[in-house]
Structure 1
Amino acid sequence: MPTNLRMLTVAALCCAAANLHAGDAGAIDVSDPYARAVPPGQANSAAFMVLRNTGDSDRALVAAESTAADTVELHTHTMDDGMMQMRRIERIELPAGEAVTLAPGGLHVMLIGLAEQLQPGMDVALTLIFDDGARQSITAPVRRIDAGAMGGHHAH
């Protein structure tokens, strides 16, 4: 086999192996991503979206990354002694054939230690990481969110 052809074959096999390791994020459709605008001095924000698992197997969002914040975590809200509280969670389950909404007052991607104040008109780059190792990069435009949309009193 000629050297050039051998090198191309090795390169193709490496790419195929890398794609297998990276998983298939194609089974997860992301729609309407956005991040919450924050007032001056606010160090934290959140990102929201709809995740639709179009595949035949249950999946899960297990992490997210962004250069917009020092720390990025998956969170939910729970009722504790009559008060809504945010709690970090390890994963967001994505049942096969279903959509899961990340929204104010519920599941969300928490952005802790913002690199800069998030204002409408800006975009936040996020990388979603799924249980099979797949990674999906998205852009979330920054929006103002009415405090009433948060569903009541909150503590972190």
Structure 2
Amino acid sequence: MNLRRFTLLALGSLMVSGMAWAHPDAAHVKAENAWARASVPGQQASGAFMRLTAQEPLTLVGVESPAAAVSEVHEMKMDGDVMRMRAIESLDLPKGVAVDLKPGGYHVMLQQLKAPLLKDTQVPITLVFKDAKGELSRLHLQVPVRLTPPAGTAPAESGHMGHGAHQH
């Protein structure tokens, strides 16, 4: 009985110490000036924006949020004379280089909203990263919902397509 208890305790401590070796959540990515655009009742989608700086080369490979049925990383770019928005599978984050997710460029797209994103509330968003070894890590954020970008960030571009009108 004592040997069995010792074995279980030893296995338990190995599991805990093994978890300590796992890639720490978010210790390697800094998110600044995060905000999500407020929506109105009936609006099915909205965007979230931020500046990400990785402390090691990483790739943003996913987005999760309980506020939306579909969460993706999107890019907007000109295709001839037309601004197009599309989901992308990944976004490279070079070590130490700030990458802006902003209106009119790369951004987080929250689609099939479960409820309106109300001004002065927060929306939980989790960013999923992959490192050079293929290990996944997550950055859990509580993103403030606003009508406009926070001071000190790039203003929305005048030609920006409204997120509410975007559907796949």
TM-score computed with the length of structure 1 as normaliser: 0.85
**Superposed CA offset, 1:27-46 (max 9, x none):** 11112211111123211001
Q: 1:78 to 1:133 in 2, by over 3 A?
A: same
Q: How does 1:141-156 map to 2 (within 5 A)?
A: 141-145=144-148, 149-154=156-161, 156=166
RMSD: 2.3
Please say if 1:109 is aligned against 2:108.
Answer: yes
- Distance of 1:30 and 1:2 partners within structure 2: 48
Tell me the number of residue pairs that the alignment of Structure 1 and Structure 2 aligns: 153
Q: 1:16 to 1:128 in 2, by over 3 A?
A: farther
How much has 1:85 moved relative to structure 2?
1.2
Aligned to 2:43: 42
Q: How does 1:55-66 map to 2 (within 5 A)?
A: 55=56, 58-66=57-65
How much has 1:7 moved relative to structure 2?
3.6
**Structure 2: gaps of 5 or more residues:** 150-154
Q: 1:135 to 1:19 in 2, by over 3 A?
A: farther
What is the DSSP-based 3-state SS (H/G/I as helix, E as strand, rest coil) of the residue aligned with 1:127?
strand
- Distance of 1:99 and 1:84 partners within structure 2: 24
How much has 1:15 moved relative to structure 2?
2.7
Aligned to 1:89: 88
Aligned to 1:25: 26
- Distance of 1:19 and 1:59 partners within structure 2: 20
8 Å Cα contact 1:127-1:138 kept in structure 2: yes
TM-score computed with the length of structure 2 as normaliser: 0.80
Q: 1:153 to 1:30 in 2, by over 3 A?
A: closer
Q: 1:137 to 1:89 in 2, by over 3 A?
A: same
- Distance of 2:137 and 2:17 partners within structure 1: 14
- Distance of 2:115 and 2:121 partners within structure 1: 11
8 Å Cα contact 1:23-1:133 kept in structure 2: no
How much has 1:151 moved relative to structure 2?
4.2
Q: 1:30 to 1:12 in 2, by over 3 A?
A: farther
What is the DSSP-based 3-state SS (H/G/I as helix, E as strand, rest coil) of the residue aligned with 1:25?
coil
- Distance of 2:17 and 2:90 partners within structure 1: 28
- Distance of 2:125 and 2:160 partners within structure 1: 27
8 Å Cα contact 2:77-2:104 kept in structure 1: no
Match of 1:139 among 134, 139, 142: 142
Amino acid paired to 1:137: H
